[in-house]
Amino acid sequence: MKQFFKFLLASMVGVFLTLLIVFFIFFGIIASLGKSDPKPVAKNSVYHLELNSEIIDRSSDNPLDNFNFMSLSSTKTIGLNDLLKNIRKAKLDENIEGIFLDLSFTMAGWASMYEIRNELLDFKESGKFIIAYADYMTQGAYYLASVADEVYLNPQGIIDFRGLNAEVVFLKNMLEKIGVEMQVIRYGKFKSAGEPFFRENLSAENREQMQSYLSSMWNTVIKDISEQRNMTVNELTSIADSFQTRTPEGALEAGMIDGIAFRDEIMDNLKSRLELEDKKEVNLVNFAQYNKAPLPDSMLPIGKRDKIAVIYGYGNIVMESQNDLSMGADRISKALRTARKDTTVKAIVFRVNSPGGSALASEIMLREVMLAVDEKPVVVSMGDLAASGGYYVACYASKIIANPNTITGSIGVFGIVPNMKEMFNDKLGITFDNVKTNELADLGSVSRPLNRTEKQIIQGQIDRIYETFIHHVAEGRGLPVAAVDSIAQGRVWSGVDAKRIGLIDDFGGLNYAIEQAAELAGIEKYRIVEYPEQKPLFEQIMEGFGSVEARFMKARLGNAYPIYQKMQQATENSGILMRMPYDVQID
C-alpha cells in the first residue's frame, strides 16, 4: 500500500510540474507576441500596407485578444491610432520611398476608411508614390485604392463596385419558435429599436432614415473617388448600376484601374521605381515591422511637457468593462476624471465609437464630460458610430468632430423586457409562482408578460429620460429644445446631415480633433497620452482566459458569429437603453 501511495504521489507531482512548465512556455510565447523593440528600416524600402485584419480604434497590448485557440496562432488586429501614426511616420521617414497598398478587403467601417484615406492623401504631399494592387477588391478596398498613383488588378480579379447595401437581421420568428416575446417600449417615431424583435421587415420610418443616411454615405464615397480618378459622379453611378467592374477589362475600360497585372509584374514596377537591379528584391516593410520602427525627431515627445489626453470609448455602453471592447462607465469616467485633474493635460480628445447602451452608464459619463469642459477644452472625435448613448456622452463637448460617413444621432430611448413565459411553461415544462409584499415587487419579471400598470410606469421612465436627453443636447449644442425634438425622435443621421442640422461642428478624423484641441488650449508643442490605461500584460493575460469560451465560439462559427451575438443580445439587452435602434451591416 505504501508503494502505491508513493507512486501516486510521484505521478501527481510529475503532472503538476509538467503543467507548470507548459504554462510558463505558453506564457512566454504569448508574452513574446507583445514585445516591440524599435528596429529602423533599411534605406530604399517600401511600406507594405495590408488591411485584411480587423481595424479597431486602439491597438490592444493583450496578445490573447487576438489569439486563436483553434489554430494556436495570433490573428493581429490593427489599431487605427497606430495605422494613422505609421502613415504619417512613413511620410517623414527618409528610408521609405513609397507605399504599396496590397488590398483585397478591409475590415473597417466607412468612417474609419475615410480617416485612413485622408492620411494617405496627406502622405502623397511628400511626393512619394502609392501603388495599389489586389486580386479582388471590395468597395471599401477600392475607396482606399482610389488615392493611389496607379491601381492594378489581377487578370482574373474583380472590383465589387455595386453601391451600398444595408441589411438588418430580424429575430421575431426565431424568438417565437423558442417562446420568447421581447416587450419593447419606446419613444419617438424613428426609434425603431426593437423592430428586429417584433417585425419581419423594416417599418416605413426605418426604411426612410436608412435610405437617407445610406444615400448620404454613398454620395461621399463616389464624390471622393471622382476627385481622385478624374471621373464624374454620373459616370461612377452608371458603372455601379451596370456592375462594369465585374471583369478586369471592364474596370480598365471604365477608368477605374490603370492596368491589369500579376503580382510579380507589380514587383517589377516597384523595382523600376526604386531603380533596383533585376536580381535584387524589393524591401517590403509590413505593418507589424514598421510599427516597431523609431519615430522621426519631429514626432518624438522629448521636451514636450504639455499633454493632450486621448480617451477611447468603444463598443456598447455598459456600467463596467474589463477592456477596450466595451465602453464601461467605470473605466471611461475614471479616465476623464484623471485627465481633468492632471494639470499637465491641457485638453482632452474623447474618441467615441459606440452604438450606445445603458442610459444610466451614459449619464455617469456625461457628468464627467461636463465637469471636464468647465476646466479645459474637450473635443469629441466620432468614429464609425456615435449614436444614441454615444451621442449623449458627446453633446456637451467644446467641439464635436465627425466624418461625413459617421453614423450618429439616434436621440431617443427605449426599454426591453423579455417575456419568457411560453418558453418556460410550454417548451421546458418549468412553471413559476411567487408571493410578494407590495403590488410592484415583481416588476420586470421575465416569467410573465407586463401588465398595463407596469407598461405605463416604464413608459413614464422612458419619456422622462427622453426629455432629459433633448434638454442636454439643446443646452450643449446651443439649440432650442423644440428644434432638437424635431431632429431627434430616435432618427439616425449621417455625418453630412448631422453637420447640416447642428449636431456636429466639423468634419475630420482623430488627428484633426487633436489639432483642434491643441488650438483651443492655445498650445503648439505637446505629447499624446492615451486612456484608459491598459493593464499590465500578465494581468491582461489572466483576464483573457476568462473569455476563452467566446474566443472558441468565434473561431468555430466564423462568419455566423455575428448572428450568434444578436441572438445573445436578444435576451441580454433589457432595461432602459439609449442605443442605436438596430445592428446594421453596410457593404
Q: Which of 91, 128, 191, 399 is catalytic?
A: 191
CA torsion angle 27 64 317 57 (round to 10): 120
Type and span of the H or E element at 240: helix 233-242
CA terminus-to-terminus distance, the chain: 70
Exposed, middle or buried by CB within 10 Å (0-12, 13-18, 19+), for 274?
middle
Burial of 38-64, coded b for 16+ CB within 10 Å and e otherwise, reads eeebeeebbbbbebebebbbbbbebbb
Contact at 8 Å (CB) between 82 and 55? Answer: no
Q: What is d(CA 487, CA 502) in angstroms, rounded to the nearest whole number? A: 10
Half-sphere exposure of 105 (CA within 13 A, CB side): 5
Is 388 an annotated catalytic residue? yes
Q: Work out the angle at residue 154's Cα, subtended by the Cα atoms of residues 149 and 156, and round it to the nearest 5 degrees.
A: 150
Q: What is d(CA 352, CA 355) in angstroms, rounded to the nearest whole number? A: 9
Give the closest residue to 63 by CA, choosing from 99, 26, 104: 26
Q: Which of 146, 216, 354, 388 is catalytic?
A: 388
β-pair partners for 585:
167
User: Phi and psi at residue 217, in whole multiples of 5°?
Assistant: -65, -45
Sign for the CA dihedral angle at 489, 494, 498, 503 comes to positive
Contact at 8 Å (CB) between 390 and 421? Answer: no
DSSP string of 425-480, one letter each residue: IIIS--------SSTTTTTT-TTS---HHHHHHHHHHHHHHHHHHHHHHHHHHT--
Orientation of helix 329-341 relative to helix 359-373, angle to 10° = 10
Q: What is d(CA 572, CA 128) in angstroms, rounded to the nearest whole number? A: 50
Type and span of the H or E element at 233: helix 233-242
Using left for φ > 0, alpha for ψ between -120 and 50, and beta otherwise, residue 575 falls in: left
Place of cell 419606446: 186
Give the cell for residue 415. 426599454
Is 191 an annotated catalytic residue? yes
Q: With helix as H, strand as E and coil as C, how does 518-570 read?
A: HHHHCCCCCEEEEECCCCCHHHHHHHHHHHHHHHHHHHHHHHHHHHHHHHHHH
Structure letter (DSSP) for residue 411: -
Q: What is d(CA 13, CA 526) in angstroms, rounded to the nearest whole number? A: 56
Q: What is d(CA 408, CA 2) in angstroms, rounded to the nearest whole number? A: 73
Residue spans of beta strands (DSSP E) within 18-141? 45-50, 55-56, 67-68, 73-74, 78-79, 96-102, 129-134
Give the closest residue to 336 by CA, choosing from 298, 374, 306: 374
Which residues are catalytically annotated? 191, 388
